[in-house]
């Protein structure tokens, strides 16, 4: 899939939580100076900023501290990162200017506010069924459009050794369907009141921490975090309410959004730091926005280095509820790309396996989908209710990761992520315009089952083909089994665009079978020929959902080799009457012999013949660019009129240095016709 790097230009917009109780994270991108801070004052904390020093040095002494700022606290998860407090009268913009101008500073950015987003008007189903866990076709759904939880529970139901942090609005830790699965800090619970018994910097943090109000009571006064927690780990087999993906797990409540749904980037980072430092292997992040924060990315990357998995909601569309392609418009934290790939980005599906109308997508930036519409779960004050959104899809994946990791504690964060992604149910055919990395929906049973010892592994080859000028040409991808099996092996496959599009090849999805006793099968893709000069193009064939095998290498790269010659350039001759005064315009036409599929540029410059620049015409030089598909461009030269009786005069417009084209006729003759 194409790798679309996040764009880091500062966006002046108010952050929000993703549609349907999702998430929202504002952000900065290597801010340049306070003249670039075109942002609503309500979108960042006016009393503090985040600063990371290149080399903080030993001890508490910083290499630089701007006038009007003091150290609030160090963020130990990211070496050199500090929250700096601003004195009265010091603006965020001015403080950033001072820090960004100092060579000892790696970056400085506002301490962005984070907000809960209002839910869209999606239908609420009143049947009370947890269709995302087990879909039998109830309420108009499609049978088995679920995560196969009952099948997974025959293999495992969770473990109290697995700690999952819910970084959100808090958790109702007294809820009867959650209380026994709430994480407890044993040292503080058995320690002295008012004393930091475990020395972790937090006093009496028995059940986590409230970073929104800086106290030890992470109670949910909103509802979002409690709903998320029930999907991850509501107590199973207790005869009441609902059941989570994990019947048995430890949920660590980390509140950074207040009752109004507002928080800061610094608080989100502090919550993640607490989670990592206190033993959480996974954290759920059902919030986000299109703004980028380098500090937040650094924190997630540091968490990855500590083998910590971040599961994030992909987003619920734009202001109008229309889905967004995250490859084009990244949504953070789901779109962060840390060096250790410890982020899983989750889209939302309905009970028919169709994408939710609001759900974001992305062939390179959204990993998989999970149930996210009409999700029934725990609510504060011993209640239950429905919510929709990628915020509700993400905890299905978080719960699945916890269940899987509890069964395979020796696996790394990247192995756990890949095992989930390699074992989805393909939904590509239902969602042809909403691609993801896997084009699949979560299936925890397949992910657990894939860990059985002795299963052979599947890999898919890369393939390239010369496209030709017309018709189609077949290209074969070979799916190889590492060893013969006594059973048929099946695996789903689906294509995804790289730089190629639907016009370049016949994409699709299906299932391929390797018969018992055999080790290979072929997937054939038809590539469309054309006579358009263009760069080589790429697409992908992705494997998912294997049966009787696991996936070792699930992505085949297809390369379409262009064989069309570069088009040729020529320039016209022009003759024009000079006139008695003022100027007339001589228009030269530059032509491409054939249209190109890529941009074509060429330099031009005038040159004297019998005419003199400055006296008879105005000299010009520069370049022209043909957009893909364009075949003509014009250059205008000003001719100066006079009353002198003289011979016709000439000059030239010469072409040079073409890009993606050749020059056939590179000299245009301009003739100034005397009319005196």
Residues taking part in catalysis: 168, 224, 391
CA atoms of 173 and 183, how far apart (whole Å): 9
Sequence-distant (6+) residues with CB within 8 A of 115 are 14, 15, 16, 17, 24, 257, 261, 262, 263
Look at strands 472-481 and 457-460 and give their pairing.
Answer: antiparallel
Q: Which two tokens stand for residue 499?
A: 């730089």
Positive or negative CA dihedral for 618, 622, 627, 629? positive
Strand residue runs (E) in 100-155:
105-115
Contact between residue 525 and residue 474 where contact means Cβ atoms under 8 Å apart? yes
What are the Cα distances from residue 669, in Å, to 190, 502, 589, 654, 676?
94, 44, 11, 9, 22
Residue linked to tokens 């005069």? 649
What DSSP state is assigned to residue 596? B
Q: Which two tokens stand for residue 48?
A: 């503090």
What are the Cα distances from residue 62, in Å, to 68, 187, 294, 295, 382?
15, 33, 20, 18, 48
Look at strands 248-255 and 343-349 and give their pairing.
Answer: unpaired
Q: Which two tokens stand for residue 224?
A: 């979002």
SS3 category, 140: helix
SS3 category, 583: strand
SS3 category, 119: coil
CA atoms of 62 and 349, how far apart (whole Å): 49
Direct distance between the N- and C-terminal alpha carbons of the chain, in angstroms, rounded to an integer: 67
Q: What are phi and psi of 278, to 5 degrees?
A: -110, 20
């Amino acid at each position: 899939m194409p790798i679309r790097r996040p764009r880091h230009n500062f966006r002046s917009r108010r952050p929000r939580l993703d549609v349907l109780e999702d998430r929202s994270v504002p952000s900065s991108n290597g801010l340049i100076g306070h003249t670039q801070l075109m942002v609503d004052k309500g979108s960042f904390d006016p009393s503090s900023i985040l600063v990371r020093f290149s080399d903080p040095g030993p001890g508490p002494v910083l290499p630089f501290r701007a006038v009007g700022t003091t150290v609030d606290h160090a963020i130990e998860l990211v070496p050199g990162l500090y929250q700096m407090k601003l004195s009265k009268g010091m603006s965020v913009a001015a403080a950033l200017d001072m820090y960004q101008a100092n060579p000892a500073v790696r970056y400085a950015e506002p301490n962005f506010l984070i907000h809960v987003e209002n839910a869209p008007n999606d239908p609420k189903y009143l049947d009370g069924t947890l269709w995302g866990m087990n879909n039998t076709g109830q309420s108009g759904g499609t049978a088995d459009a679920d995560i196969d939880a009952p099948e997974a529970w025959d293999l495992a139901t969770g473990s109290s050794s697995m700690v999952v942090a819910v970084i959100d609005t808090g958790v109702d830790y007294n809820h009867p369907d959650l209380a026994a699965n709430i994480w407890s800090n044993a040292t503080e619970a058995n320690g002295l009141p008012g004393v930091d018994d475990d020395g972790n910097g937090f006093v009496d943090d028995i059940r986590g921490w409230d970073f929104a109000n800086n106290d030890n009571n992470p109670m949910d006064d909103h509802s979002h975090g409690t709903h998320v927690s029930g999907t991850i780990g509501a107590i199973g087999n207790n005869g009441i309410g609902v059941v989570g993906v994990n019947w048995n797990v430890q949920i660590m409540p980390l509140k950074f959004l207040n009752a109004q749904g507002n928080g800061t980037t610094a608080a989100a980072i502090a919550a993640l730091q607490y989670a990592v430092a206190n033993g959480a292997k996974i954290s759920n992040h059902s919030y986000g926005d299109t703004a980028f924060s380098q500090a937040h990315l650094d924190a997630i990357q540091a968490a990855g280095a500590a083998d910590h998995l971040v599961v994030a909601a992909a987003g619920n569309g734009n202001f109008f509820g229309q889905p967004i392609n995250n490859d084009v418009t990244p949504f953070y934290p789901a779109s962060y790309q840390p060096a250790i790939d410890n982020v899983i980005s989750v889209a939302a599906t309905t009970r028919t396996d169709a994408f939710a109308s609001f759900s974001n997508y992305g062939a390179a930036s959204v990993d998989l989908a999970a149930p996210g519409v009409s999700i029934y779960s725990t609510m504060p004050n011993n209640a239950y209710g429905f919510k929709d959104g990628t915020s509700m899809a993400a905890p299905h994946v978080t719960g699945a990761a916890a269940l899987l990791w509890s069964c395979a504690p020796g696996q790394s964060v990247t192995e756990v992520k890949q095992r989930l992604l390699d074992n989805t149910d393909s939904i590509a055919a239902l969602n042809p315009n909403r691609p993801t990395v896997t084009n699949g929906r979560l299936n925890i049973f397949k992910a657990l089952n894939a860990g059985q010892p002795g299963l052979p592994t599947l890999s898919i080859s890369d393939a390239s083909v010369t496209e030709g000028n017309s018709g189609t040409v077949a290209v074969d991808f070979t799916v190889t089994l590492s060893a013969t099996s006594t059973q048929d092996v099946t695996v789903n496959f689906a294509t995804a665009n790289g730089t190629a599009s639907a016009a370049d090849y016949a994409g699709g999805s299906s299932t391929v079978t390797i018969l018992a006793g055999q080790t290979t099968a072929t997937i054939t893709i038809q590539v469309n020929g054309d006579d358009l000069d263009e760069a080589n193009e790429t697409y992908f064939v992705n494997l998912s959902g294997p049966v009787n095998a696991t996936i070792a290498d699930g992505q085949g790269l297809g390369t379409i080799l262009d064989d069309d010659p570069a088009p040729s350039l020529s320039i016209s001759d022009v003759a024009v009457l000079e006139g008695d005064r003022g100027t007339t315009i001589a228009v030269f036409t530059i032509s491409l012999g054939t249209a190109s599929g890529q941009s074509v540029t060429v330099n031009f410059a005038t040159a004297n013949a019998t005419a003199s620049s400055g006296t008879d015409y105005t000299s010009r030089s520069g370049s022209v660019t043909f957009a893909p598909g364009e075949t003509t461009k014009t250059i205008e030269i000003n001719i100066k009129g006079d009353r002198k009786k003289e011979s016709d005069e000439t000059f030239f417009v010469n072409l040079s240095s073409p890009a993606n084209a050749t020059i056939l006729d590179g000299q245009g003759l301009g003739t100034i016709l005397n009319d005196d």
